[in-house]
Structure 1
Amino acid sequence: MLMPIERRRRISFFATAALLSVVSVTLSGCSEEKTEAAAVVRPVKVVEIAEADNVRQLSYSGSVRARVEMNLGFRVNGKIVERAANVGDRVKVGDLLARVDATDYELAVRSASANLDAAERQVETVKLVRDRVEQLLAKKFASQAQFDQAVLTYNQAIATRDAAKSALSQAKNQVAYTSLFADRPGIVTSINADVGQVVGSGTPVATVAVEGEKEVQVAVPETEIANFRAGQAVKVGIWSEAGLILDGTVREVAGSADQQSRTFSVRISLPNDQKVLLGMTATVEASADNGAPFVSVPLSALAKKDGYPIVWVVDRGTELVHSRPVTLADFTTDGVRVTEGLDVGDLVVAAGTQFMTDDLKVTISSATAATQSVATTTAEEAHLVR
């Protein structure tokens, strides 16, 4: 019986040794896998910081409008009985826009005409009296005082007649003012009153944009208004016409800010171009001095550490990333402007900053070295390099 037991022990010993060997090999394989996983580096996208410039671009949106816009209204009070123009109509000089009830003004013309007739009859009567007294004075049958009185009465009658003529002319003008006509060619851009509405003299009824020079009006904040002056050349782009860039000229800079928006109105004259229509949206771009140089990076490159803004900078030699605190100037539509913390030639991680840690190993494509540096003081988007 001893031989089988001894044999069993030997078999158990060899089985245990074999199991330990397998476990050891397995653990060794796991360790190698962990080592290989730890050696994996992360590919990143970076932007290269170019030399800062002191010039930056200002961009403002506005709408194309006529240089001259007329708010037309009646010169008399009345109830509108006809409106002949609609928004968008092209009008010529003398075209009817609207009309008010002229009944009362026509009655005034009749009354003034009757008064003039009476005044003319009075002039004829006193003229006969004056002539008669003059004849009697020549024959010594009338005194000089009587003749002077006749002359005075005649002159008064003449003045009354002249006043009646003026009243009649004024009454006729009032009738003419009941019709509102266009006095310059243009386009009707708005109608502010309609049939049945009672309007006062001077109340705007229709707005006509006069044909001719067009302009763009933009609102500029007080912090940037010093960068605009009359006669300054700017670039104007039309949103609906891609690629159309016009050479504009600043025509007028408001001397005071708007009471509500606290912005200054700037008007830019445009060259004549048939593609540019009234009401189109335009973008005005001008150059301005920075005062203090700054660089721009994509918004995706910005991160936070301990509550402060940072960016992740890649060391070219070791390809390790390090956090670097930065000072921000402001935000733009395509990035953020940095005044302190970055130097020319720095490689900044542009995407995946949430995965970055100090001394993390990353990979940068060799194309990065050949990539042209981006002028970061403009509003252009920085190039991304894998």
Structure 2
Amino acid sequence: MFSPKATRMPISLPSIAVMTALGLMLSGCSEEKAETKEIVRPVKVVEVAGAGEARKLDYSGSVRARTEMNLGFRVAGKITERHVNIGDRVEPGDLLARIDATDYQLAVKSAEASLVAAEKQVDTTRLAKERAEQLFAKNVTSKSQLEEATLSHDQAVSTRDAAIASLDQAKNQVRYTDLKSDQNGIVTAVNADIGQVIGSGSPVVTVAVDGEKEAEIAVPEMDIAKFRPGQKVTARFWSDDGLILDGQVREVAGSADRLSRTFTVRVSLPKDQRVLLGMTATVETAGESERRVISVPLSALSEKDGRKIVWVVKRDTATVHAREIVVADFSGDGVNVTQGLQSGDIVVAAGTQFMSEDLKVKLPDTEALSAQAETQLVR
């Protein structure tokens, strides 16, 4: 009887090699899928140092006299003489300039002639009045004739008085052709010269009156609220590093300049012989006017949904997150931030356009961050 047996197929060596290779390929694909790595972007960052000092407001200006006179003629005319130059000292009564007085002298002669005629008319009407009074007393003339003579005399007297006033006015105009100083001071500007025809009241010479000096500065609108009349400030001078004076805000302009959009602030200075007119002064505010700010590079500033932000790196997860900030102003060092950052924050300093929320980044080593924090400018 026939008994079946299991038949074994011989396996050749090439078949074994193919199967082994196929197994290795499948295993490699599985491992490649399992080992897909998360994208980690290297970034340049800065570490925010502590804001140990407060930023002081300081603005440069010039030293001026508290009182400056823009002197001009009280009558119009052509300038024939000028006796002062910029920098000259003047005293009360000194002649500064003169205009042609010919027409005003002729006006005086005309007024004198009018006065003589008015006085003659007064004499004539006075005689007529006296005669009318005598005739009325003898009942020769009527009362109306006496009243008419009296009225004519009174009118002549008024005309004479007007002629006297006109003569005085004409003489004054002749005196006004001489421009004189009425204060001690220094000539700081000459606005008209010989041969120029000027109108009444036009500035010809500017005189800085001796006495108290002030520093005049221009303050932008974002800081003008920090300056108040009576506030104590400190004044430094470029010409002398050792010259430091305590000043006081005397006047704050009520409106901004139309062109510069800044407000004029005048600071009273104590008397000091070393302070000269025109010197450059830097005015610094006192402690109550200080603002604490942190400076970060301009490249770190971004905008999201209309808000100013920076990308801050979370240390434990090495991921970036957007944080809204309040920008005070811009400087040569970068952006001055008043709110949104604190000491120890790590801010992305470059490549902010590639950042997204929770993006994983690669930070530099700790020593590099520490070195950046030491050099980071914080005012």
| Aligned partner of residue 204 in structure 1, secondary structure | coil
Does the C-alpha gap of structure 1 residues 239 and 148 become closer, same or farther in structure 2, counting only changes over 3 Å?
same
Q: How does 1:113-128 map to 2 (within 5 A)?
A: 113-128=112-127
Name the structure 2 match of 1:76.
Answer: 75
Structure 1 residue 261, shift from structure 2 partner: 1.1
Name the structure 1 match of 2:171.
Answer: 172
Whether the aligned pair in 1 keeps the contact of 2:235 and 2:284 (CA below 8 Å) is yes
Q: How far apart, CA to CA, are the structure 2 residues paired with 1:201 and 1:170? A: 15
| Aligned partner of residue 243 in structure 1, secondary structure | strand
Q: How far apart, CA to CA, are the structure 1 residues paired with 2:76 and 2:301? A: 70
Does the C-alpha gap of structure 1 residues 285 and 324 become closer, same or farther in structure 2, counting only changes over 3 Å?
farther
Does the C-alpha gap of structure 1 residues 97 and 303 become closer, same or farther in structure 2, counting only changes over 3 Å?
same
Structure 1 residue 341, shift from structure 2 partner: 4.9
Whether the aligned pair in 1 keeps the contact of 2:64 and 2:214 (CA below 8 Å) is yes
Name the structure 1 match of 2:253.
Answer: 254
Name the structure 2 match of 1:274.
Answer: 273
Does the C-alpha gap of structure 1 residues 363 and 132 become closer, same or farther in structure 2, counting only changes over 3 Å?
closer
Does the C-alpha gap of structure 1 residues 56 and 146 become closer, same or farther in structure 2, counting only changes over 3 Å?
same
Name the structure 1 match of 2:239.
Answer: 240
Whether the aligned pair in 2 keeps the contact of 1:303 and 1:309 (CA below 8 Å) is no
Question: What is the aligned-residue identity percentage?
Answer: 55
Does 1:343 find its partner at 2:369? no
Q: How far apart, CA to CA, are the structure 2 residues paired with 1:142 and 1:282? A: 87
Let me know the Cα RMSD of the aligned residues: 3.9
Any stretches of 5+ residues in structure 2 without a counterpart?
1-45, 304-308, 314-319, 348-361
Structure 1 residue 113, shift from structure 2 partner: 0.3
Count residues with an aligned counterpart: 311
| Runs of at least 4 residues off by over 6 Å | 302-312, 323-328
Deviations 1:149-169 (A, max 9, x none): 111111011001001101101
Whether the aligned pair in 1 keeps the contact of 2:237 and 2:244 (CA below 8 Å) is yes
Q: How far apart, CA to CA, are the structure 2 residues paired with 1:284 and 1:106? A: 53
Does the C-alpha gap of structure 1 residues 113 and 306 become closer, same or farther in structure 2, counting only changes over 3 Å?
closer
Q: How far apart, CA to CA, are the structure 2 residues paired with 1:171 and 1:364? A: 85
Name the structure 1 match of 2:229.
Answer: 230
Whether the aligned pair in 2 keeps the contact of 1:57 and 1:288 (CA below 8 Å) is no
Q: How far apart, CA to CA, are the structure 2 residues paired with 1:306 and 1:277? A: 47
Does 1:92 find its partner at 2:91? yes
Whether the aligned pair in 1 keeps the contact of 2:50 and 2:378 (CA below 8 Å) is no
Name the structure 1 match of 2:294.
Answer: 295
Does the C-alpha gap of structure 1 residues 363 and 165 become closer, same or farther in structure 2, counting only changes over 3 Å?
closer
Does the C-alpha gap of structure 1 residues 305 and 232 become closer, same or farther in structure 2, counting only changes over 3 Å?
closer
Name the structure 2 match of 1:49.
Answer: 49
Q: How far apart, CA to CA, are the structure 2 residues paired with 1:219 and 1:305? A: 28
Deviations 1:303-330 (A, max 9, x none): 7699997899xxxxxxxxxx99996844
Structure 1 residue 76, shift from structure 2 partner: 1.0
Q: How does 1:138-153 map to 2 (within 5 A)?
A: 138-153=137-152
Q: How far apart, CA to CA, are the structure 1 residues paired with 2:68 and 2:249? A: 18
Structure 1 residue 194, shift from structure 2 partner: 0.6
Q: How does 1:205-220 map to 2 (within 5 A)?
A: 205-220=204-219
Q: How far apart, CA to CA, are the structure 2 residues paired with 1:157 and 1:377? A: 87
Name the structure 2 match of 1:14.
Answer: none
Structure 1 residue 90, shift from structure 2 partner: 0.7
Name the structure 2 match of 1:30.
Answer: none
Q: How far apart, CA to CA, are the structure 2 residues paired with 1:227 and 1:73? A: 38
Does the C-alpha gap of structure 1 residues 143 and 359 become closer, same or farther in structure 2, counting only changes over 3 Å?
closer
Name the structure 1 match of 2:200.
Answer: 201
Name the structure 2 match of 1:186.
Answer: 185
Whether the aligned pair in 2 keeps the contact of 1:52 and 1:294 (CA below 8 Å) is no
Name the structure 2 match of 1:265.
Answer: 264
| Aligned partner of residue 87 in structure 1, secondary structure | coil
Q: How far apart, CA to CA, are the structure 1 residues paired with 2:275 and 2:102? A: 45
Does the C-alpha gap of structure 1 residues 277 and 334 become closer, same or farther in structure 2, counting only changes over 3 Å?
farther
| Aligned partner of residue 55 in structure 2, secondary structure | strand
With normalisation by structure 1, the TM-score equals 0.69
Name the structure 2 match of 1:9.
Answer: none
Whether the aligned pair in 2 keeps the contact of 1:93 and 1:185 (CA below 8 Å) is yes
Does the C-alpha gap of structure 1 residues 245 and 311 become closer, same or farther in structure 2, counting only changes over 3 Å?
farther
Whether the aligned pair in 2 keeps the contact of 1:214 and 1:270 (CA below 8 Å) is yes
Whether the aligned pair in 2 keeps the contact of 1:324 and 1:341 (CA below 8 Å) is no
With normalisation by structure 2, the TM-score equals 0.70
Counterpart code for 2:343:
D
Name the structure 2 match of 1:61.
Answer: 60
Q: How does 1:362-381 map to 2 (within 5 A)?
A: 362=367, 378=379
Structure 1 residue 288, shift from structure 2 partner: 5.1
| Aligned partner of residue 165 in structure 2, secondary structure | helix
| Aligned partner of residue 242 in structure 2, secondary structure | coil
Does the C-alpha gap of structure 1 residues 333 and 244 become closer, same or farther in structure 2, counting only changes over 3 Å?
farther
